[in-house]
Amino acid sequence: MHASLLNPPSSSSLRARDSDALSRQQRFENAVLPISRNVSPAPGSEPDAKPRSAQAAATATEYVTRTLLAQDEVPAFLDHLHAVFHVPKPNGAMGAAREFFSDHWHYDDTRDLAGVQVAVTAQSLDKPLEIVSSVRVYDRRIHLSKSSPPLVTGGIGDVATNINHRGKSLAKKLMHMADVHMQENMGAKFGVLHAAPLAAPLYNSIGWAYVNYRNLLVTTRIADFVAGKTGCVNDISFKEHSSEMIIAKQLYERFAPSILGTFARPSNFYWENYVGKSSDVRKSIVRLLYTPDGKSTTEICVGDCVGYIIAMAMTFDLAQVEKSKLSSVTVTVSEFFIGKVKSFSTINGFEFEATEAAEYGSVLTELLFAAISKLLSPLSMYHDPEFAIKLVFPSAMLPEAVLDAVGPHNAPWATSRERSDESGWMFKVFEPFNLVSNANESVAITSGEDLARVLSSVSAGTSVVFEGCQGVVLKEGDDVFGFCKMDAF
């Protein structure tokens, strides 16, 4: 007879086991989520501890898990996200507010009520609805191979459980429902998410695999940007069918697919709104277009080099600089693309090709200078020769091989640079599929680990042509997996 049957566990050991299981679930939800502003932990208590009154309330509560059922439930969903996320961070900055989540809902033309998994209290089935936990699946198409069309995927976002209702396995249950939705309703064979550092190991425990992602960090000063403009940089108008937006869209469609991990953006609605607008007061964002020799967009012709950039700085950081609490500021380059006009037609618009390295560097320098000036010129420290500006790029978007080809004469701001890991990017494979790798080999993808290998940096003995800049070839160690942060989900 089995030893456990001869010696059954005591009631105290069973309680200890159940308490440990609850503790593991509590750690999962508190690693994934911030502490809700509605209930603050008592001074000196552990950050993941719930007040006793909250524990008692949660114990007595019954839950119903389901999707959103009607548009009139969306406001309750947004209110729930605001309550969970709009809380102070350790540095004093506030988390995302309702407006941020409202943008992500109303500006996304693929939004789907069935993609929002929620837990509601049984007591609130009669209005008003009380949502206490959520997971949203963003319907996306992602580029994972340079030789294949983008693939259907679900982006996991808005994972949020109110602190009063944690430790009840709600987040795990909703994550499972999201998996089912992606497979059965979307036909996705894999999902993607970006996890906070503390939460990543816990997502890994439910089947999500890490993918290595790196940024390029360039430390510079405004004095490092050599004067002498050769072009014209202006704000992009994201009004319907504006010529600036169309040029940016066609540059993106030409060059973004070569960066594995970028999303397809097929609709003008998505460009006008999700990319072109933001109500998030935490960020100052600029969206700029470069044209040569002061030309208007209607004067651009074959052989001209054009480009655009979207960059941002955190308003909290800018305020801290003014208070002399920071000696540097970070400017994140969400995306930039540069191309030379190969042809133009009134039906198909612009066709672009790769730009020669020196011109590529000159255009990028002007775009960066204009972006930095618009973001930082109001600061009193802006002209201080010792004031440091930290530029952050997706490494796959601006490989060091490009800067080597451009040379210090055309990019004097890029001499101090390093690559840094950005943890948290994860994939989960639901169904096997094949991908064509950068080595032009068909690879069977049966797990997140298989996908991570395909998206890893260029391996020894292979090389990859960089699409945006003529003559640049990526070699061992260069990154190919990137992401445009304006597509954040």
Q: Which H helix or E strand runs over 248? A: helix 243-255
Q: Pairing mode, if any, of strands 190-194 and 151-161? A: parallel
* DSSP-assigned letter for residue 374: H
Angle of the 74-85 helix axis to the 98-106 helix axis, nearest 10: 140
Instruction: Decide if 396 contacts 481 (C-beta within 8 A).
Output: yes
Q: Tell me the helices (H) and strands (E) count for the chain, helix number first.
A: 13, 19
Residue with structure tokens 């693309």?
Answer: 337
Residue with structure tokens 């009607």?
Answer: 70
Binned average pLDDT, 10 residues per bin, the chain of 489 residues? 37 44 52 44 32 43 94 97 96 96 98 98 80 98 94 98 94 97 98 92 93 97 75 90 94 97 96 97 97 92 97 96 90 98 94 97 96 94 89 98 95 95 95 90 94 93 94 96 96
Distance CA(150)–CA(227), nearest Å, equals 40
SS3 344: strand
Which residues face 7 on adjacent strands? none
Residue with structure tokens 């607008």?
Answer: 277
- Note the pLDDT of residue 230: 63
Structure tokens at 60: 């007595």
Which residues face 313 on adjacent strands? 284
**Burial of 466 from C-beta contacts in 10 A (0-12 / 13-18 / 19+):** buried
Q: First and final CA of the chain: distance in angstroms?
A: 53
Three-class SS of 1-57: CCHHHHCCCCHHHHHHHHHHHHHHHHHHHHHHCCCCCCCCCCCCCCCCCCCHHHHHH
Q: Pairing mode, if any, of strands 214-220 and 349-353? A: unpaired
- Note the pLDDT of residue 147: 86
Closest C-alpha to 177, from 78, 63, 271, 275: 63
Using CA atoms, how far residue 8 sits from 20, 21, 211, 296, 357, in Å, is 19, 19, 44, 82, 73
Closest C-alpha to 376, from 325, 331, 320: 331
Instruction: Report the length, in residues, of the chain.
Output: 489
The backbone torsions φ and ψ at residue 295, rounded to the nearest 5 degrees and listed phi first, read: -70, 145
SS3 462: coil
